[in-house]
Chains A and B, each alone.
Chain A
Amino acid sequence: MSGPDLSRKRPRPDASSRPTTGAPAPALAERDKILELIRSRANRGIWSADIKRETNIPQTIVQKQIKILLGNKLIKEVTDIRYKSRKVYMAAEFEPSDEISGGTWFSGGSLNKEVISDVRKRCKQQIMMLKAATSDMIYKGMKKSDPNLMYTMQQIGDILQSLVIDKEVDEIKSTGKGDFANVPAGKVCYRIVQSSRRTQVGALASIPCGVCPRLRDCTPHGEISPRNCEYYKQWLGGEYF
């Protein structure tokens, strides 16, 4: 009696070509292709929809391969501050660029309000000490009091700009005299805004009409009128008024 007829059996793949996970060769090739593409984007990362488009691999397979790569810690998922709803993937060996992470002032995809508040406070302290100071002087002062300061001049400039916008600090040209004695005349510098000015309430804003969403519909004898206005009643304190 002879052995089984091998010619009628299905040929088996070569054992050396089989991956250790046991996945078939095309799947491995796809995974490698995806990994290479993600790596090529370095610290910018790539959106999952872009992976599908550039590799021409069906969406379901892309998702499956990404899951495996995540499991093997070859790639990581990061938040793109510009498009928070997108899934962006990056090779594990890279750190997200400032464009993706939002820079120094962002942490985990959100504004790091504590850090910002701390830097603002330190900037204001410098300005108060010097009475009037340029951004250069402020930066040097902060560096002097904290040699480990890890912010750049540009970043301190951003903070100063936000202080000007919040009206906590004025941006003015130095006259070279008085409070500005330490600053050459004509140079742009910063000075603390007096607290009385920060708490001023405008005339229109201090009455109900100033903040009323229906002001444009209001007429002296119409359905909406100062005579029967609910906001006036609350403001004057009492149903009678």
Chain B
Amino acid sequence: MVGVYGKRLAKEIISTHFGDLVAKVCNCLLQSGTLSLHEIVRYTDMPGSHVKNCLLILIQHNCVQAFCTPRKGSTDKTVTLYMAIFDNIINRMRFSKFLSLIKGGDLAPKDSQTKEGQCKYALLKGILQNGRLTFEQLVERSISKEQQTDRVQEKHQSELRACFNELVRSHYVERCPRPEPFIYPDPEDQPKPTKRRGAKTAEQPLSLEQQAIEAATLAESERFSEIPESSVERTGDGIVNHSPATGDKRKHETLETDLDLLVAIAENEVLWRANFEKLLYCLRTKICAENVRSRLGDDAGVVFEAIMEANAEKKIKATIVIATFDGILNNLSGSMTLDGVRTILDELDCKSATDKLEAIYSLDLNATLEACKNDEIEAVVKARYGDQGYKIFRLLSTKDQLIETDRIAEITFMEKKEAHQMLYKLWRDEFIDIKKVPSQGSGESASISLWRLHRKPFYQTLLDDIFHAALNLTVKISQLVEKQHEILEDDMKNLLKRKFILQLSLLKLDDSLMLFHDF
């Protein structure tokens, strides 16, 4: 459930990237949920053509999904509905992070940049900037940046295809989902599903929006189906070699034609987009590996990354990661001994099992994710309440049970009065919960205060604060951009420096946002 500030942040991002009109349409969908074109026109009070154009832009950039559903009260008429995809809007803040994941790309250190890395970087950048493109459009984009002869262009296209297929193989890029899938909103009318991705149990009905996303999603094999080589490229020298027998020649020609048609479709008609699921998986690996490194050392961080890379099912929300021992070793550079690797796997609390004589390790990411979240929360508590508040919070966080005031003062080596005052401050600001129990023994109506940290409601409050802070940073950056046109050149350097600080802070805050919202 997205809070108020999450939606405001999404609106601000769309406004900054596409302008106020598009932001108005997007905000309408964010606030009101799934709507038809007619309803959007009514709510936004904008001309129909403007709304259509805005929707096209949002769909192009994967921020809105359209779907068809039977019109209410009618059996043969359908209506197209539009829904905002909040997560994809927020992902727009992360493009530079996504690009930094490309090894050897432009954001890698100079000495580790490779031609292939730079090629992949340019392709992914083109896709992120434009939302969705065909391969042909990517090639045109690349060619237009460099002045090349036809022969060079041909070779360049072949290299581009190789890099592009590598991106598809690594799941960084995927085929776009179905543009307007048809769904049945009533469960009784639905045909029996052959495979339902996302639904954990048969009893939990999916919401309309979840059904739309699921219906739009292509099957895995189709989603990451690469662009095949044309028949010309397969022979390598442009000359078609075939058997002199007439029947075989005709069959071969037919096959070549089919293949070329497939290639033409894949290059000119299939739209491709960034696969945010994979990109977020990589970012999650990065953030968790950093935490593991800080707690257990550099070697542990390296082994952790190897486990995540060797994991077959790279689902962003999955917290159990499974990898074979051989797979883990393949992703290490060979600098560690087998015993060393096993020692670290034990330190990471991996469970081992054997499957068909192969050693398999499973890692529960919950502990690492909780450690990351705790670090973030404790830093906020320390900054707001000082060392005393921090100690009390740490105690309640580690113990995860009800503790009496006196005992808290005792364990934290604090004066009872100070402990009492701090506990009330933390409770007043909704960091902790209180439970009063009647005190036994004394004749008066005294009560004992017991304190506890309740994570779930607290996480939601904190997430809203993070969204709010991100919105504030975004607004502040926009304000500085407006000022750029007003100030003198002498002040420009200072302004740009401040803008850079704000942008870096927003990128860092986004890591926390991912921790509490996306991971």
**Residues on A facing B (Cβ under 8 Å):** 81-82, 84, 105, 110-111, 116, 158, 161-162, 164-167, 170, 175-178, 194, 196-197, 200-207, 209-211, 215, 218, 220, 225-227, 229, 232, 236-238, 240-241
Measured CB to CB, the closest approach of chain A to B393, in angstroms, equals 9
Known: A200-B375, A220-B471, A226-B475. A206 touches B508 (CB 8 A): yes
By a CB distance below 8 angstroms, the chain B residues around A162 are: 391, 411-413
By a CB distance below 8 angstroms, the chain A residues around B498 are: 236-238, 241
Check A218 against B472 for contact (C-beta < 8 Å).
yes
Contacts A/B (CB < 8 Å), 22 sampled: A111-B414, A158-B410, A162-B411, A162-B412, A165-B398, A166-B394, A178-B344, A200-B375, A201-B383, A202-B512, A203-B509, A203-B512, A204-B376, A204-B379, A211-B380, A215-B468, A215-B469, A220-B471, A226-B479, A227-B475, A236-B498, A241-B495
Number of residue pairs spanning A and B whose beta carbons lie under 8 angstroms apart: 135
Q: Size of chain B's interface in residues, with CB distance under 8 A?
A: 58
Residue with the highest number of chain B CB atoms closer than 10 Å, among A165, A205, A238: A165
Measured CB to CB, the closest approach of chain B to A123, in angstroms, equals 14
Measured CB to CB, the closest approach of chain B to A102, in angstroms, equals 9
By a CB distance below 8 angstroms, the chain B residues around A206 are: 379, 505, 508
At the interface, yes or no: B360 with Cβ under 8 Å from chain A?
A: no
Residue of A nearest to B466 (CB): A204
Residue of A nearest to B377 (CB): A202
Known: A203-B509, A203-B511, A226-B476. A165 touches B411 (CB 8 A): yes
**Bound Cα distance from A171 to B460, whole angstroms:** 28
Known: A206-B508, A210-B469, A220-B475. A200 touches B294 (CB 8 A): yes
By a CB distance below 8 angstroms, the chain B residues around A164 are: 398
**Bound Cα distance from A229 to B510, whole angstroms:** 21
At the interface, yes or no: B319 with Cβ under 8 Å from chain A?
A: no
At the interface, yes or no: B250 with Cβ under 8 Å from chain A?
A: no
At the interface, yes or no: B501 with Cβ under 8 Å from chain A?
A: yes
Measured CB to CB, the closest approach of chain B to A106, in angstroms, equals 10
By a CB distance below 8 angstroms, the chain B residues around A194 are: 294-295
Measured CB to CB, the closest approach of chain A to B39, in angstroms, equals 26
Residue of B nearest to A236 (CB): B498
Residue of A nearest to B510 (CB): A203
Known: A81-B416, A165-B394, A232-B476. A207 touches B411 (CB 8 A): no
Residue of A nearest to B511 (CB): A203
Check B411 against A205 for contact (C-beta < 8 Å).
no
By a CB distance below 8 angstroms, the chain A residues around B415 are: 110-111
Check A238 against B494 for contact (C-beta < 8 Å).
yes
Residue with the highest number of chain B CB atoms closer than 10 Å, among A105, A158, A210: A210
**Residues on B facing A (Cβ under 8 Å):** 8, 12, 294-295, 339, 342-344, 346-347, 375-380, 382-384, 391, 394-395, 398, 406, 410-417, 462, 465-466, 468-469, 471-473, 475-476, 479-480, 483, 487, 491, 494-495, 498, 501-502, 505, 508-512
Check B412 against A165 for contact (C-beta < 8 Å).
yes
Check B294 against A201 for contact (C-beta < 8 Å).
no
Residue of B nearest to A102 (CB): B410
Check A175 against B413 for contact (C-beta < 8 Å).
no
Check A218 against B468 for contact (C-beta < 8 Å).
yes
Check B465 against A204 for contact (C-beta < 8 Å).
yes
**Bound Cα distance from A197 to B378, whole angstroms:** 12
Check B413 against A105 for contact (C-beta < 8 Å).
yes
Known: A165-B412, A220-B8, A241-B495. A205 touches B379 (CB 8 A): yes
Residue of B nearest to A120 (CB): B413
Check B391 against A197 for contact (C-beta < 8 Å).
no
**Bound Cα distance from A226 to B505, whole angstroms:** 14
By a CB distance below 8 angstroms, the chain A residues around B473 are: 207, 209, 226
Check B508 against A111 for contact (C-beta < 8 Å).
no
**Bound Cα distance from A80 to B378, whole angstroms:** 33
Check A204 against B479 for contact (C-beta < 8 Å).
no
Residue of A nearest to B487 (CB): A240
Residue with the highest number of chain A CB atoms closer than 10 Å, among B8, B414, B473: B473
Check A210 against B398 for contact (C-beta < 8 Å).
no
Check B469 against A209 for contact (C-beta < 8 Å).
yes
Known: A204-B379, A205-B379. A165 touches B395 (CB 8 A): yes
Query: Which of the residues B8, B346, B383, B468 comes within 8 Å of A205, measured between beta carbons?
Result: B383
By a CB distance below 8 angstroms, the chain A residues around B378 are: 167, 202
By a CB distance below 8 angstroms, the chain A residues around B495 are: 240-241
Check B476 against A227 for contact (C-beta < 8 Å).
yes
Check A210 against B413 for contact (C-beta < 8 Å).
no
By a CB distance below 8 angstroms, the chain B residues around A226 are: 472-473, 475-476, 479
**Bound Cα distance from A206 to B508, whole angstroms:** 9
Residue of A nearest to B348 (CB): A175
Check A116 against B379 for contact (C-beta < 8 Å).
no
